[in-house]
Amino acid sequence: MDFKDKVVIVTGGTRGIGLETVKTFYKHNATVILFGSKKETVEECINNLKEEGIIVNGYYPNLNNYEEVNNIMKKIYDKYGHIDVLINNVGVSDNKKIEDVSSSDFLKIMNININSMFNTSKSVIPYMKKQKSGVILTASSMVSIYGQPSGVGYPASKSAVNGLTKSLARELAPFNIRVNAVAPGIIKTDMLKNLSEDIIKPLIDNIPLGRIGLPSDIANAYLFLASDMASYITGVILQVDGCARN
């Protein structure tokens, strides 16, 4: 579980699960680079982490712009000579009934949750192929498997994440690049604020472990899947949900 001399990129790394993932990999000696949506939030996050004794670098590319993402990845590769782990953690949820969802609302969710993953993954794969090693991890969700009562765009996007994960795992296995996803259950993050109590409570009642998950539960799953301990695992959608079932 030692990531010394490993370069790890975490998108959506300024808060919630992403921020906890940044901290977790740093504690395991990785060189961590976080991506955020805005210059201000990235700089604020880096400064706050510095006060905790955590030194990371950060960028704020538009993840829906492949050329912009590709330029940043090249800059990172040129600086360090390798990119070892990409964690596609950025994401957005929704709980609107379908009659209240506009086409632009739906497209926004798809862009953030799946198109960004496509762009970041596509831009690092040539470097990982050159290295003949690498790990790509992505945030899925348990709703990609079970659906949810409202907010159809979110589970649809996460189902697409699962498909892309499994396909890339097959395509990239000959190059020793592993591709997996983590499907969180109910996790204590800001994203919970977008879900109403009548959606959350029945889900919690259905969790045998009887609690909401913590960001550290997901960060540790990422850590395991990125490590050599998971060297024979690829194409997996790992459910981290307290055994939640629909």
Catalytic residues: 154
Tell me the C-alpha distance between 133 and 83, whole Å: 9
Q: Which residues lie closer than 8 Å to 22 by C-beta, 6 or more apart?
A: 10, 13, 32, 34, 49, 54, 56
86 forms beta bridges with 9, 136
Report d(CA 60, CA 135) in Å as an integer. Answer: 22
In sequence order, the β-bridge partners of residue 183 are: 239
CA–CA distance, 114 with 31 (Å, rounded to integer):
26
Amino acid at 45: C
Q: Is 37 helix (H, G, I), strand (E, B) or coil?
A: coil
- Residue 136: name the closest of 144, 145, 128, 147 by CA: 128
